Every structure is written in structure tokens, then in C-alpha cells.
Amino acid sequence: MALVTTKDMFRKALDGGYAVGAFNINNMEIVQAITDAAVAEKSPVILQVGTISMNYLRPAYTVKLVEAAAEDAGIDFAFHLDHGEDFETCRKCVDMGFTSVMIDGSKLPFEENIEMTRRVCEYAHARGVVVEAELGKLAGVEDSVNVDARSATFTDPDQAAEFVERTGVDSLAVAIGTSHGAYKFKGEPYLDFQRLQEIHKRIPDTPLVLHGASSVLPQYIEQCNAYGGTIPAATGVPESMIKEAAGYGICKVNVDTDIKLAMTAAVRKQIAEDTASFDPRKYMGAGRDLITEMIRHKMQAMLGSGGRA
Ligand code: 13P
């Protein structure tokens, strides 16, 4: 089976009012857990990797691992670069076999973001690869991205329309109140749905992307802490909000934190309860199983992507 672009996936998601999960990979068990879930749910899926995770995994292993997953799982999925920092990073990933790249110029002034995105689009499109860009700036911390709450800005709907028109970008990540990492909201969760609807109205054919979309499931934090963790309480994006967002053009929902939490919760429990064991297959396997269960739940109950592959 093959690595495909997100073009068809997003077209169907836009028409069907559901979203496709884009799950970050950091090791082999996570790759397997995501593809196992997609196979079980017959769901479209995107495997994505940021540059720091790719360096941890090592670039050659990353590509081979993802190719092996497509072959072994017998499904088509997209392979995406998350938060490419510059043209050169995106170019390398296009050349390595990614089917989709994100150029994150959100920290740049508007005109410079347009210029860099346009350049990446030119290179990627000529080689059959699709491009995601970001307009507005999400708060939070994730690998190479670190934006404090004061410098975060929401996406302007008029600028979004101009940006898509002038860059030819395939999908657009918008800032409407989510943030990267576990600590997303000080009080009650809030997303600016009115802004999202305005953006969707201006560019109805452009698939929109929601970064920072982990629900930060409390049961995983509790499990980590019950087995020696000291993770402070945190609030993620409620599943109901993700569902609502999918009705307003959000086609791609990014999840990284929930995967890390599930893996840590399972590994901590397994090691604590089976103290005589020193077999990595046991605790890494427990992590893999819990991630599969969590992603299956998201595909069925939150994204609405189950049965759409
Ligand atoms: P979370 O930190 O909410 O999982 O977001 C991940 C993300 O947006 C990857 O780009």
C-alpha cells in the first residue's frame, strides 16, 4: 500500500463534515499504534513528525518506518512534516518521500510568511506534494515551537483569504484558541467558533487545520500520578469542541500530547505492577495498546473518520 497526499482525504472530509486525525510519531510503537487504530476503524489517517522527533528517530529510520507501516498495515495514509521551519527543511522532506509538508511561517510578518509559503508550494507542488501553512500564532510549547501566551494571535479571516489566494497553499492551520502542549486553558476551555466560521465562509474550499487539539484526558494524568508521576492538573480541548470545529471546515486535527500521556501512563503502570520484569516489550507493548485504544476512540467518537477509508 502507498503513502498518499491529503488531497482526497480532505475533499471527502470537507464534504462529509468530519475530520482526519494527524498523529505525531516519536518511536516505532507509536507508528504501529496509530496504524493499528486506522486499520481497526477503517479510518483515513495522517502520520506526522516534527524535526526534533525526526532527529530523535533519525531521518532514515523515520522514512523507512513509515514506509514499512504502509506496507505492513495494507492501508494508504499520508506522511506529513509538522512545523517545518524554513524552505530547506521542507525541501529535504519533499525529497525524502513525505507526501505533505507544513511550512510554519506564523512567526514571520504577513508578507514574509506569504513569500516563504509560496516558495515551498512551488517546490512541493512540482513534485506532487501538498503544503500546509499557518496564519495567526498558537501559544504553547511543542518541540521546536515555543510561543508564550502574550505573543499568540488569532487568525484574521480577511488575511486568511488573501494568504490562500496569493500562496496557493493546500490547507491552512488557524489560531482560534487552542495551544500546543498539556496546559491549554487557564479557566474554562474556549474556542473562537465565530472566527472559525468567518474564515470558513471566506475560503470554503480550503481544508482548515486545528493544531493543539489534544483533549489531555484526565484519566491518563491520574494514572501517571498514581504510579509516581507529578504532572500538574491540565485542561485540553473537549471532544465536543473538536466535533463542532469539524462542521466549520476543520479537516485535520493534530494530536501529540495525548499520545505522550497515554504512553507514559501505560509504561508507568506496567513497570510499577510487574516489578520483577525487565522486558521492554512488556511496557512498550502496554504503551502501544493504550495508544491504539485511545486513537480508536477518537476516530469513532470525536473525529467521525471511522469507516471512511
Ligand atoms: P497537542 O499538543 O494538543 O497534542 O497538539 C499537537 C500539535 O498541534 C502538533 O502540531
* CB-CB neighbours of 109 under 10 Å: 9
**pTM reported for the whole predicted model:** 0.96
Round to whole Å and give the CA distance between 287 and 181. Answer: 19
The pLDDT tens digits for 87-127 are 999 999 999 999 999 999 999 999 999 999 999 999 999 99
The DSSP annotation for the chain comes to: --B--SHHHHHHHHHHT--EEEEE--SHHHHHHHHHHHHHHT---EEEE-HHHHHHH-HHHHHHHHHHHHHHHT--BEEEEEEE-SHHHHHHHHHHT-SEEEE--TTS-HHHHHHHHHHHHHHHHTTT-EEEEEESB-EEEETTEEE-GGG-BPPPHHHHHHHHHHH--SEEEE-SS-EESS---SSS----HHHHHHHHHHSTTSPEEE-S-----HHHHHHHHHTT--PPP-----HHHHHHHHTTTEEEEEE-HHHHHHHHHHHHHHHHH-TT---HHHHHHHHHHHHHHHHHHIIIIII--TT--
Q: What confidence score (pLDDT) does residue 170 get? A: 98
Q: Does residue 260's CB lie within 6 angstroms of at least one atom of ligand 1?
A: no
Q: Does residue 213's CB lie within 6 angstroms of at least one atom of ligand 1?
A: yes
Return mean pLDDT, the chain. Answer: 95
Average pLDDT over residues 154-179: 97
Q: What confidence score (pLDDT) does residue 146 get? A: 65
Q: What confidence score (pLDDT) does residue 137 get? A: 84
Q: Does residue 82's CB lie within 6 angstroms of at least one atom of ligand 1?
A: yes
- The rounded Å distance from CA 255 to ligand 1 centre is 5
The radius of gyration of the chain's CA atoms, rounded to the nearest angstrom, is 18
Catalytic, 82? Answer yes
The pLDDT tens digits for 42-88 are 999 999 999 999 999 999 999 999 999 999 998 999 999 999 999 99
- The rounded Å distance from CA 36 to ligand 1 centre is 21
Round to whole Å and give the CA distance between 127 and 149. Answer: 37
Q: What confidence score (pLDDT) does residue 147 get? A: 66
- The rounded Å distance from CA 279 to ligand 1 centre is 30
The pLDDT tens digits for 207-244 are 999 999 999 999 999 999 999 999 999 999 999 999 99
Q: Does residue 21's CB lie within 6 angstroms of at least one atom of ligand 1?
A: no
Q: Which of 254, 263, 291 to mutate for ligand 1's pocket (most ligand atoms within 8 Å of CB)?
A: 254
Asked whether 242 and 217 are in contact (CB, 8 A), the reply is no
145 band by pLDDT with thresholds 50, 70 and 90: low
Cell of 3: 503513502
* CB-CB neighbours of 226 under 10 Å: 12
- The rounded Å distance from CA 67 to ligand 1 centre is 23
Q: What confidence score (pLDDT) does residue 1 get? A: 73
| Catalytic one of 36, 82, 256, 258 | 82
Q: Does residue 31's CB lie within 6 angstroms of at least one atom of ligand 1?
A: no
The pLDDT tens digits for 147-164 are 666 667 899 999 999 999
